[in-house]
Amino acid sequence: MDLPAGVRSTTVDTGRLRTHYLEAGAPDASPLVLVHGNLSTARFFAHVLPDLAARHRVIAPDMRGFGDSARAPLDATRGLADWADDVHALLTALDVTAPPHLLGWSTGAAAVTRYAQDRPVASLVLVDPVSPYGFGGTRADGTPCHPDFAGSGGGIVNPEVVVRIAAGDASDESPFSPRNVLRGFYVAPGHREPPEREDMLVAEILKTATGDDNYPGDAVASAHWPGTAPGTRGIANAFSPRYCDWSTIVDLDPKPPVLWTHGALDLVVADGSPLELGTLGAAGHLPDWPGIEVFPPQQMVTQIRTVLDRYADAGGSVRVEVLPDSGHGPHLDATAGWLATVTGFLAGVAART
């Protein structure tokens, strides 16, 4: 499937790794960086680049281990700092010196908030972000259910999904085929991308580097339910609460304006996500669940809202937009409304500076 008119595909060696990225807009326009999430690539944003490029130089990289960028290992003990540093290296290689607007989807949101902890940014757009306390194994206040963060990390990923990605499975023969994962979890129930576009998105998922260094990462045995705890490598460990904590944005000074957009029908990042083990245990789908007092379903949206409320109470500007008929990817299944929200927010930021 061809790229939209005006969208360019380029690869550059940044000094950290070989990075493939999509770009649109005037070179001297205000920079806007789009950071995709787990099991996706820059092509998931390609259709919105022309609209965003009306006012911005839009840059959308494939992050390490995904798409056409290098299959470099990811140090999970740094959370998403490898991704944040990769974005900075790319902007440096492209001679972008102005503080960028950063948009992060899902796992990418943890990366852009980490970027903001280390460097100036113009604004942050968080699209269905992973919880401030990572994915899996935390109580409502973000404290871990177990001291070793058991119930999160590389060991909780369904192994059949990994096997099918590694095998290049583009079929819809299994619930764990990437195509059915896309249909079931990336978008709202009943939404279907046009066939040619769906084929392209599935092909992009299949570019994912699998294994202990990338997706899902390694794991260690645990004495605590469900018997697995995070390792130190790979993406699923990087967004484990053991290493991922973007609640620290509350302490940023100065505080960039924040927009949080979220699909109301999101099944990935939700209060009681069906992908999270506390939810599965409570529903009787996993054996030996120790009960709600020990391992409750993670209240992900509540955790996001609480942290952003604290950000606002500390003087930050926060806008929240919940899209009622959208799933985990509002830029996919609610494109027009989502774009209007994002472009309106960015225009407002520009008007105040």
Residue 102 is assigned to a structural domain of this protein = yes
Give residue 250's pLDDT band: very low, low, confident or very high (50, 70, 90).
Answer: very high
pLDDT score of 144? 98
Residue 175 is assigned to a structural domain of this protein = no
pLDDT score of 256? 98
pLDDT score of 1? 87
**Cβ neighbour number for residue 183 with a 10 Å cutoff:** 20
Residue 222 is assigned to a structural domain of this protein = no
Query: Per-residue pLDDT tens for 264-311?
Result: 999 999 999 999 999 999 999 999 999 999 999 999 999 999 999 999
Let me know: does 230 contact 149? Beta carbons within 8 Å. yes
Strands 215-216 and 210-211: parallel
**27: cis peptide before it, omega within 30°?**
no
Q: Can you tell me whether residue 107 is helix, strand or coil? A: helix
Range of the domain at 37: 8-145+239-352
Residue 167 is assigned to a structural domain of this protein = no
Give residue 259's pLDDT band: very low, low, confident or very high (50, 70, 90).
Answer: very high
Residue 17 is assigned to a structural domain of this protein = yes
| Averaged pLDDT score across all residues of the chain | 98
Residue 316 gets which letter from DSSP?
-
Give residue 168's pLDDT band: very low, low, confident or very high (50, 70, 90).
Answer: very high
- C-alpha span between 80 and 248 (Å, rounded): 14
Residue 215 is assigned to a structural domain of this protein = no
pLDDT score of 353? 81
Dig out the tokens for 241 from the structure: 């609460």
Residue 195 is assigned to a structural domain of this protein = no
3-state helix, strand, coil in the chain (%, to 5): 35, 20, 50
Query: Per-residue pLDDT tens for 119-156?
Result: 999 999 999 999 999 999 999 999 999 999 999 999 99
Where do we find the tokens 């570019």? 207
Closest CA to 6 of 67, 51, 63: 51
pLDDT above 90: percentage of residues in the chain: 99
**216: cis peptide before it, omega within 30°?**
yes
- Check pLDDT > 90 for residue 93: yes
Query: Per-residue pLDDT tens for 97-107?
Result: 999 999 999 99
Query: Per-residue pLDDT tens for 183-196?
Result: 999 999 999 999 99
Closest CA to 322 of 306, 338, 302: 338
How many distinct structural domains can be found in the chain? 1
What's 318's domain CATH number? 3.40.50.1820
Non-local CB neighbours of 252 within 8 Å, separated by 6+ positions: 116, 117, 316
| Average pLDDT over every residue of 14-42 | 98
Let me know: does 200 contact 43? Beta carbons within 8 Å. yes
Non-local CB neighbours of 158 within 8 Å, separated by 6+ positions: 176
Let me know: does 31 contact 112? Beta carbons within 8 Å. no
Give residue 23's pLDDT band: very low, low, confident or very high (50, 70, 90).
Answer: very high
Residue 192 is assigned to a structural domain of this protein = no
